[in-house]
Amino acid sequence: MVKRASPLEIYKFLDKSNCKECGLETCMAFSTDLLERNKKLSDCPHLQRPKQAKNLRKLIEITTPPQKPVEFGVGERLCTIGGEEVIYRHSLTFYNEMAIAITLDDNAEDLIDTVKYLTGIVISRLGDDLKLNAIALKCVSKDAECFKNAAKTVVENSDIPVILCSFNPEILLAAAAEIKNKKPLLYAVTKESWEKIGSFAFDEDLPVVCFSNDINELISISASLQKMGVREIVLDPGTFFGEGDVSDTFDNIIQLRLAGINSGDENSGWPIMGVPAALWKDIKVKNEKDLWKFQYKEMIRACIMAAIDTSLIICHTGKKKEDIWALLAILTFRQNVFSDPRVYPAIDPGLEQIGEPGEDAPIFCTTNYRMTVYPVREDIKSANIDAYLLSVDTGGIGVESAVAGGQYSSTAIAEAIEEYKPFEKVKHRIIVIPGMGARLSGAVEDDANCVCIVGPRDSSGIPDFMKKRWDPAKDMAEFAER
């Protein structure tokens, strides 16, 4: 694997003035943040001075990851792909999540409406807003004017990045010239068109996709473009469907990743893309009832590509509102794969009001593990229950592990009750803990001087729990008799 630079290696090329102009206290802190990509070289004003040009070049060299990043689009939705340092997420982390693009035909009658729909998709899950990253505009019309006008229509009605898709270089470049200020990704450069498209991409500083089913030919195109001066390249080794072809698709992707990241091959060290939408190339659905089978197959392919850290995928399914299930599947899977394994997914502990709870409202108590808190909150909301949710600081560890490790204990719960004072919001002293923390109930009652009720093991059981078990008057009456 390509050796990663250390903070000290970076530090020796800085001026060590500790000027604080980057927003940090010291140059060493800047070195660390630069390594973790919380800062950029452009954030150091001293490195932009002519006298520092040599040091800047060296820093660019040692901080550029073996799989170089590529950006397309502009503004807030600018998309960065690639830029990874490891083959497996748990070796370090993946820094840039896989980008997901949906195809649109340039001659589609509902082009504007579909563009606006895809741009506006936001799925909130576990505190993140999941969105699509790009629109892949296909030249189905085979007409340069139609393709150019469609590209213009897309950027006029959306800020989402655009991938221009055509194997005809004249048609592709006509559209690219029309929207070049939006930095589209140009798909695709082949062995026949590399010189023409590469020259345009170099002049306009635009990213391109190299395409070939032959790995050696693909690498050759990449090398030629780099010699020409093209600075941002994406590699597409082809996506195949059919018996025996699935393994070829993934073998090619993994081979390119290994060559770029582990071996440091500069011609392979670029983002890699796949096209699950290729499934539809030769398919004609005779019965609409069978449509979902092909859509499902496409999404399975998309999820596998996410699992092996493919940098960008282009899908066909998802442009219609009734296909939201497919987008939910791939967006959710991507979120899971590209979360940072070095960081506990914690939220700030505290007391949260859900709905408009009254004096008899229940108080549910859980850990501050994000993937516990958000599902519990959503289950309470979806059941239209007005309640309070108390999150105990367990360092972002889930209930079962935190009970076993002692982070979720009677003492921790009592301290959270003392700090956030949930009982001042209601007229009872009843706390509901998860079923997986049942063995803590007696100790919680002693340490917090309250009634501790053991709730369901899973928050999906909260509605049934409220119907069958929640009776604050009865519980408080028994509490008073103790």
Report d(CA 446, CA 441) in Å as an integer. Answer: 9
pLDDT greater than 90 at residue 275: yes
- pLDDT attached to residue 177: 97
**pLDDT of 148-166, one tens digit each?**
999 999 999 999 999 999 9
pLDDT greater than 90 at residue 286: no
Share of the chain above pLDDT 90, in %: 90
**pLDDT grade for 245, boundaries at 50, 70 and 90:** confident
Q: Tally helices (H) and strands (E) across the chain.
A: 17, 17
Share of the chain above pLDDT 70, in %: 100
**pLDDT of 368-426, one tens digit each?**
998 899 999 999 999 999 999 999 999 999 999 999 999 999 999 999 999 999 999 99
* Identity of residue 427: K
- pLDDT attached to residue 479: 87
pLDDT greater than 80 at residue 307: yes
Mean pLDDT of 326-342: 93
The secondary structure element, H or E, covering residue 391 is strand 387-392
Q: Which domains does the chain have, with CATH numbers?
A: 7-63 (1.10.15.40), 69-337 (3.20.20.20), 350-480 (3.40.50.11600)
SS3 per residue for 441-477 = HHHHHHHHCCEEEECCCCHHHHHHHHHHCCCHHHHHH
**pLDDT of 190-201, one tens digit each?**
999 999 999 999
**pLDDT of 95-139, one tens digit each?**
999 999 999 999 999 999 999 999 999 998 877 899 999 999 999
Q: Are 45 and 21 in contact (CB under 8 A)?
A: yes
| Residue written as token pair 């469609």 | 150
- pLDDT attached to residue 341: 87
Q: What is the DSSP string of 74-109?
A: -GGG-EEEE----SSGGGS--SSPPEEEEEEETT-T
Mean pLDDT of 276-285: 87
**pLDDT grade for 427, boundaries at 50, 70 and 90:** very high
- pLDDT attached to residue 1: 64
- pLDDT attached to residue 349: 96
Mean pLDDT of the chain: 94
Report d(CA 188, CA 166) in Å as an integer. Answer: 6
**pLDDT grade for 59, boundaries at 50, 70 and 90:** very high
Q: Are 116 and 84 in contact (CB under 8 A)?
A: no
**pLDDT of 190-237, one tens digit each?**
999 999 999 999 999 999 999 999 999 999 999 999 999 999 999 999
The residues, any chain, with a CB within 8 Å of residue 436's CB and separated by 6 or more, are 399, 400, 403, 457
- pLDDT attached to residue 244: 67
Report d(CA 209, CA 399) in Å as an integer. Answer: 46
